[in-house]
Structure formats: C-alpha cells, structure tokens
Amino acid sequence: MPLSPYASAGEAQAAMQAGRITSEALVRADLARIGQLDHAGPKLNAIIALNPHALDDARAMDRERRAGHVRGPLHGVPVLLKDNIETSDGTPTTAGSLALARNVTLRDAPVAARLKAAGAVILGKANLSEWANFRSRRSISGWSAIGGLVHNPHGLDRTACGSSAGSGAAIAAGYASAAIGTETDGSVTCPAALNGVVGLKPTVGLVSRRYIVPISAEQDTAGPMTRTVADAAAVLGAIAGSDPGDPATREADARKSDYLAALGPQALQGVRIGVLRGVVRASPPTDAVFEDALAALKRAGAVLVEVKLPDTALLGEISAAETLSLGAEFRAAINAYLASTPPAVATRTLDDLIAFDRAEPREMALFGQDTFEATAKSPPITDPGYLATRGKARTLAREALDGMLAQGKVAALVTPTGGPAWLVDPVNGDRSSGSPTTLPAVAGYPHLTVPMGAAMGLPLGLSFIGPAWSEARLLAFGYAFEQATHARRDPDFPPSLAARPEVARAYAPR
C-alpha cells in the first residue's frame, strides 16, 4: 500500500526500512503530487524549481540501503529548501527576484550539504516572499516575481504568511516529508502556524547561514518546517553544527544534542510553563483554541504560570531599534552576497537591485520597494550609532525574555503564534493580528510553533519560547503537547471559507 502524502518522515523511514517503499518511489510520488497540486488543481505556487537530479539521488540512497548502509533518520527522505538557500544541482537561487534568475552558483550551502550527508534527497526549491519580505512594508507575504503568490492549502484566498510561505504550504499539502525555511523575524514560525505545520527557529548560531541570501548576520537562521515535532527534531539534528565560514556558529558543535532522543510524551510532567496573553490581538476563536491548548498542557502535566508581558513602550523601543539595525545589516550583507554571485548576475549591489526593480514592471506590479530605498541610506555596520542601536535592541530583548522566564520561574513561555490566516489583499497588503516573534528574533533565542487547533478550518499555532540553546527542551515540550492533542489536520484546499459547507449553509437565505 502506498504511503499517504501526509505521512511523516519517520513513517516514510519505517516503510523504507521494512522494504515497503523506496526513496525513488517517494520522490516519484512527491513529484507527481507537485504536478497535480502546484502546477494544476489548486495551483498553490509553492515550488519554484525542482532538482533535476532528485531521482538519481534517491536511487543512490536506495543502493546504499540495499548494501546495509543507512545514514540516519533522513536517509532517502525528500526535503525541500526555501529558494534563498544555495544548492549545487544547477538550479538558480533566486530569493524570488528576477534579478537573481541566473544565480546558478553550483555550491551547496552548509545546510544543504549537511542534509545530503544525512541521506536526505533535495527535492527542489520552495517559493517565498521575495527577498524574504524585506523589500517593502506594504508587501504581500508569499509573493515573488518568479514564483507568483503562494496559496494557503487550508483556504486558497488566505495568506500562507511569509517569508517561508512555500515551505509551509508545501509541507501542509504533502509535497515532501520536510522543508527548510529561514527566519529573521517570524519567517519560519508564521507560515508554519498559518499552514498548520511545525516550525522551529533555532538559536542564532546553531545552524550555518553561509550561502543563504541574507538579511541580517545578527538575526538570520535556517530552521525545519515539518508535519511532526519528531521530524523537526530529526532535521535539526542534521543541519545543526559549527561552520568555520560562519563565525556565529562557533558554539554550535558543543551546544547541539540528540534532539530525537530527548522527545517523550511525559516531557511536560511537573514543568513550569509561563502563559503569555495579549501578544495577539483579542479574537474569540483564537482565544478559545488557546484556552483548549492550555487545558491540554495541564492534562499533560504542565504547571501553568501567568506571566506578565513587558510594557508596550519597551516592546516598541525594541521593535524600532530592530528596524534601524536591520537596515544597516541588510545593506552590508546583500552587497557582500551579490559580490559573490556568478558573472551572469548583473546586479552587484543594493543600488543595482533598486535600479533593476524600477526598470522591471513585473517586480513592481503589486507593491514598491520603500524598504530597499530606506535601507540604501543606512549607515555602515562599523558606524558607532548602528553598533549602539543593535546592542540596545539585543540587550533589551534578552532582558525582557530572561525577565519573563525568571518572573514565573518557568522553563518556557507559551502564547498563540498568531491569529488565523488573513485574506490576501493586493490593495492594502498584509494584515497580521500580531505575533510573539520579535523578542526571540532580536534576542537570538529559539522559538517553536506546533499546531494547536483551528478557527473555521484555519490552523492556529502554539508558540514555545525559551532561552538560548534550549531547542531540545522546547522540542520535547512541543512533542508532549502534540501527542496529547494531535491537533494538526490535513488541508482540504477550499477556494474560500464560503465554500465550506457549514459556512455556505449559514450564508444561504432562510
């Protein structure tokens, strides 16, 4: 019997070990599903490019298995990468921009190299918010000039969030067993939550960022997006580790652990968990699902402690300092990255990108590039003013999180990751209901989101936030919650909520 497209990586591995399926068969099934749902059917637009060597790579993993060599839990498992992560398979790394359409570097980012060393099969590149949502404050999450708009499989007229929109939608829709997203502030956790999957933003410095199109050396990180917490733990175990080419990862080898071994359904027993309220704007459906999640945490043995948020003035100060810092960091990082691209890439600086967009109608069809233009005026990262602003942002964010953890003597904080997916609005852009992403993003601390339920069929995520290097504990907490609730649901690809029978009945005249 063929595997369900929604089978976990762990289930796929067990089936391969039992000889019921091969890696080649898995890849063929995923490619067929992508053809059925991404290029036809609901047309999710979650995929930008497919690895032309994926089937050959899968066959190689099957040969190794037949010879008695299995590299680990990802051996032969298909994985997608966000299209800002370089691979050596001949596909371009575009960040969604036509300016990078010829960016074929023929080099593997350490994230890709580590996955391949673990036996994973790179299936292809996932669509994303262009430039990881750093081109305009009025952007549409999940849209890129190359890939178009990613659609949320739980409501095709709803946002898939960003910037790792394609990674989240693809995993929700059963295109692959796992995906890699990247986050600067919310770009893994938001699309994971709104597409109803697991997403982990690791501690900054646990995973290499080399050969990934950058925003900020201070906040960027790659992380797993999967259908189960165990799969996220397996992927993190593969991609975590020190890289001499990324100085931020110097502690990674010493800090990483066996994340799969740390999982257990009893992980919440007797653990004090801090409850944060008011992070997401009040919403009766979201609030009700959150209360159910808290009750599930208590049933799983957690001791819940109400923890007070920092005052809004402090949060605003951190956000403003982050915005100023990211501008300087992006200008420096993108200029350095573009200088390393092949000669076929004509845009070699941020100023070149701005000029390219102005001359290319397909880039500016829906929104402008005000963030790019403001960033071009940012100071250099050697500027004392920038250094003070970044230092302030990091210090305040860490003090705020450390203070909340200490306030309740808690191991982690929980809060909704956001509200339900909002309607895509090409006129006004994104309309988020708020999120808890900024504090852990600026602090560089880990942030895990796990499906906690749904509002009218739209998924909602529960965030677990902890101190630096606490991934093993957060994953264990998330796993225990997942096993207590089994809240994730497969999508049904409705064109709108009005197409759901219960809503259609309510809309009909009496």
Q: Return the active site residues.
A: 82, 163, 187
DSSP state string for 315-381: HHHHHHHHHHHHHHHHHHHHHHHHHTS-TT----SHHHHHHHHHH-TTTSSS---HHHHHHTTPPPT
Which alpha helices (H) appear in 156-228, and where do they start and end?
165-172, 189-195
Residue 163: asked if its preceding bond is cis (omega within 30°), the reply is yes
486 φψ region: left (φ > 0), alpha (ψ -120 to 50), beta (else): left
Helices 9-17 and 229-239 cross at an angle (nearest 10°) of 80
How far is residue 42's CA from residue 164's CA, in Å, rounded to a whole number? 19
Q: What are phi and psi of 337, to 5 degrees?
A: -65, -50
* Cβ atoms 111, 402 nearer than 8 A: no
H-run or E-run covering 25 = helix 23-37
How far is residue 323's CA from residue 325's CA, in Å, rounded to a whole number? 5
